[in-house]
Amino acid sequence: MDKFVIRGGNPLLGTVRISGAKNAALPAMAAALLTEEPVILENIPQVRDIETERKLLVAMGAEVELGYGRAQHRTTINCRNLNTPEASYELVKTMRASTLVLGPLVAKFGRAHVSLPGGCAIGARPIDLHLKGLEKLGAKITQEHGYVEARADRLKGGHIVFDKITVTGTEDLLMAAVLAEGETLIENCAREPEVKDLADLLIKMGAKIEGAGTSTIKVKGVARLRGAKHRIIPDRIEAGTFIIAGAISGGDLMVTNCDPNHLTSLLNKLEEVGVKVTRNGESVRVLSLGGLKASDIVTEEYPGFPTDMQAQYMALVTQADGSSIVTENIFENRFMHAQELVRMGASIKIEGRRAIIRGRTPLSGAAVLASDLRASASLVLAALVAEGETIIDRVYHIDRGYERIEEKFRGVGAEIRRIGELLPRKVHVQAHA
């Protein structure tokens, strides 16, 4: 397994360009299942989860071109010959977002056989709300041998009220409703920008959707959808990660090709902490002259402080004077980075859903372990400011959602390199004549 070796102490200076949003690209690729015409998506991030989604679609019989040439970062997906509306455990266990194919498969093919995703490091992460919503639209759901079987001759419009706000649940049901017969009203929807981006693509494909990006979405089902071309929105979590990197390293960083309007809660919080952020058009300039002050956060659904930025923020406030309380309201087990930060010298106490971070504590480089995508990012941020060398193991977690992250960090002055697992050298035993 690859490792990162990072030597701390360099302020990040210069410009870093943000890639397309993984969490917008994944539902958009699933939306291609809803039509027999080609769907072209641009600004696709070159990350492991996108490759997993490509394999998933190809296994169903879709044709997927995926190119990352300088100009491209584009995929063309054609599902006209799709013949196997199934998502195997082998693939789903590596990426729970595979369940995003449920809604489109039932809507378009009347059947979906999808492995239950199982839990993951940060929590149980059930999909009960996805399934309840599909039943509301007339799907017959059975579960056996770890798989969900969903069937419907044709989905019928219905009224769905989510018990809890769920991002991929909203996306799954939106994609089911666009081909259902009649009208669907979905309430208590997720308002994340990635939901709105999916709806923008579906509308280009001919869907009739109102209210995406708000808590209430209205859909008028149509008989069929056409192909479309769509540019995926920038990754707000990657942008937020680099903005905190600029802050924690005491640097002066220009983060470009992002949408500051998707980062309001984070940027406001960073200003409270004492970081200078300047929003303009499609970039954010972050300037940190030290003297950070502690400040509390509570993670909430969008537009609140994003749970996907919690770990990165925790790393930052280890360098802020005073105690910060981080409350994680979305997932039940999303503090695994805390113990690794403690090993680097941080002072963090966990009490249920709250973590109390007492700063400012100097950090020292150490050998640490990545546990999930955003926890890994948090360890990289801590390593940037730690004295000496940090070795982060299992960085495949970070490769799931960050494109060429070590190149991007090196490009703005970080001392970071990737070391692959040294393959055991073949021992040549000379046969003695």
Give contact residues for ligand EPZ (rule: CB under 6 A): 23, 26, 97, 123-130, 164, 166-169, 190, 307-308, 330-331, 373-374, 401
Active site annotation includes 79 = no
SS3 content of the chain, % helix, strand, coil (to 5): 35, 30, 40
Rounded distance between C-alpha atoms, residue 127 and residue 116, angstroms: 8
Rounded distance between C-alpha atoms, residue 270 and residue 159, angstroms: 40
Instruction: With beta carbons less than 8 A apart as the criterion, state whether 77 and 29 touch.
Output: yes
Minimal distance, residue 123 CB to ligand EPZ, in Å: 5
Q: Which is closer to ligand EPZ, CB of 171 or CB of 406?
A: 171
If we measure between CA atoms, which residue out of 394, 361, 359 comes closest to residue 379?
394
Unique residue bearing structure tokens 């940027």? 267
Q: Which of 79, 120, 189, 258 is catalytic?
A: 120
Q: Which is closer to ligand EPZ, CB of 126 or CB of 413?
A: 126
Rounded distance between C-alpha atoms, residue 48 and residue 50, angstroms: 5
Q: Which is closer to ligand EPZ, CB of 112 or CB of 294?
A: 112
Instruction: Annotate 34-92 with DSSP letters as a single string.
Output: G-SS-EEEES----HHHHHHHHHHHHHT-EEEEE--TT--EEEEE-TT----EE-HHHH
If we measure between CA atoms, which residue out of 64, 41, 39 comes closest to residue 52?
64
Minimal distance, residue 81 CB to ligand EPZ, in Å: 26
Minimal distance, residue 330 CB to ligand EPZ, in Å: 5
Residues for the chain: how many in total?
Answer: 433
Q: Which is closer to ligand EPZ, CB of 109 or CB of 402?
A: 402
Q: How many CA atoms lie within 13 A of 363 on its CB side?
A: 35
Minimal distance, residue 423 CB to ligand EPZ, in Å: 30
Q: Which is closer to ligand EPZ, CB of 241 or CB of 319?
A: 241
Minimal distance, residue 311 CB to ligand EPZ, in Å: 9
By annotation, the residues acting in catalysis are: 120
